[in-house]
Amino acid sequence: MALILDGKAVSEKRIELLREAIDESGLSPRLATVLVGDDPASALYVRMKHQACERVHIGSINVTLPADTTTERVVEKVQRLNADPEISGILVQLPLPAGIEQESVIEAVSPEKDVDGFHPCNIGHLVSGRPRFSPCTPLGIMNLLAESGIELEGRRAVVVGRSIDVGRPMAALLLNANATITVCHSRTRDLASITREADLVVAAVGRPRFITADMIGEGATVVDIGTNRVEGRLVGDVDFEAVRERAGAITPVPGGVGPMTIATLMENTFAAARRLSCGPAP
């Protein structure tokens, strides 16, 4: 039976440590979120981020815009936040409503305040092996694996999914940690034969219980990024009950990756405040 990688417990511990570090720093980090439209799931995620800010003594503001806002208007709001010295980090909640050019908005965020790590500049630093801000979900996973004593160096890691926000940065972070990486996606042939060989499988597919026990090698570590809603319940991309019988370690959904993502956002926001207080990066 697999060890459960308890992201909730690890994130709680990191939140406590972060609050102490912020209190001792004398800095006043502040996160600005931008929420466009009225998607209830996005609104819930933004609320959770503000609640986490309160716990770690990070100030926060939310800018709300209607769904029919133009790209230019969102960009203008972001530029104001870039110029505001009181703001350390900016997060534009995704997805944006149809009609708004997501890339233009992401590129409008100052790389120095890009606590989501989505700006091409920060993706470039990450891929070049010298990360500044890394996307919160994959970085949170790296922290969870490190805190759980899971070795990565020289191990075979398979990332299933190649999204900009999760799959690709996950692969880059694992490569930076000297794992041997395979990225699989919807066009991959015979996926199971690849995942079965892996020491670590990261599932970022967006399909409930897609990764089944026959796809996992005995003793492998399985990380589930899925947040699928099935009959009102949150269900991962991994068939948890069956896979836990084969895996060596596994993240649950909920209580695995999700809490680590939010803790990492808080850590990135404090890092942004620290960096801004030292002047521009070299």
- Provide the binding-site residues for ligand GUN, judged by CB under 6 A: 91-94, 116, 136-137, 165
CB nearer to ligand GUN: pick between 137 and 269: 137
DSSP code, position 187: T
Min separation Cβ 95 and ligand GUN, Å:
7
Phi and psi of 91, rounded to 5°? -130, 120
Catalytic site includes residue 8: no
As a whole number of angstroms, the distance between CA 31 and CA 11 comes to 19
Nearest to 236 by CA among 269, 211, 216, 267: 211
| 8 A C-beta contact, residue 60 and residue 46 | no
| 8 A C-beta contact, residue 22 and residue 52 | no
Closest residue to ligand GUN in the complex (CB): 94
As a whole number of angstroms, the distance between CA 264 and CA 258 comes to 10
Task: Tell me the residue ranges of DSSP E strands in the chain.
Answer: 3-4, 30-36, 59-65, 89-92, 156-160, 180-184, 200-203, 221-224, 228-230, 233-235, 249-250
CB nearer to ligand GUN: pick between 140 and 252: 140
Catalytic site includes residue 49: yes
Min separation Cβ 121 and ligand GUN, Å:
16
- The residue from 77, 93, 114, 199 that is catalytic is 93
Min separation Cβ 266 and ligand GUN, Å:
13
Cis status, amide bond into 280, omega within 30 of 0: no
Min separation Cβ 193 and ligand GUN, Å:
31
CB-based contacts of 45, cutoff 8 Å, min separation 6: 93
CB nearer to ligand GUN: pick between 29 and 135: 135
CB nearer to ligand GUN: pick between 92 and 184: 92
User: 3-state class of 158 per DSSP?
Assistant: strand
As a whole number of angstroms, the distance between CA 241 and CA 185 comes to 24
- The residue from 77, 113, 116, 237 that is catalytic is 116
Catalytic site includes residue 79: no
Min separation Cβ 93 and ligand GUN, Å:
5
Q: How buried is 74 (Cβ within 10 angstroms: 0-12 exposed, 13-18 middle, 19+ buried)?
A: buried
User: 3-state class of 116 per DSSP?
Assistant: coil
Min separation Cβ 148 and ligand GUN, Å:
21
Known catalytic residues? 49, 93, 116
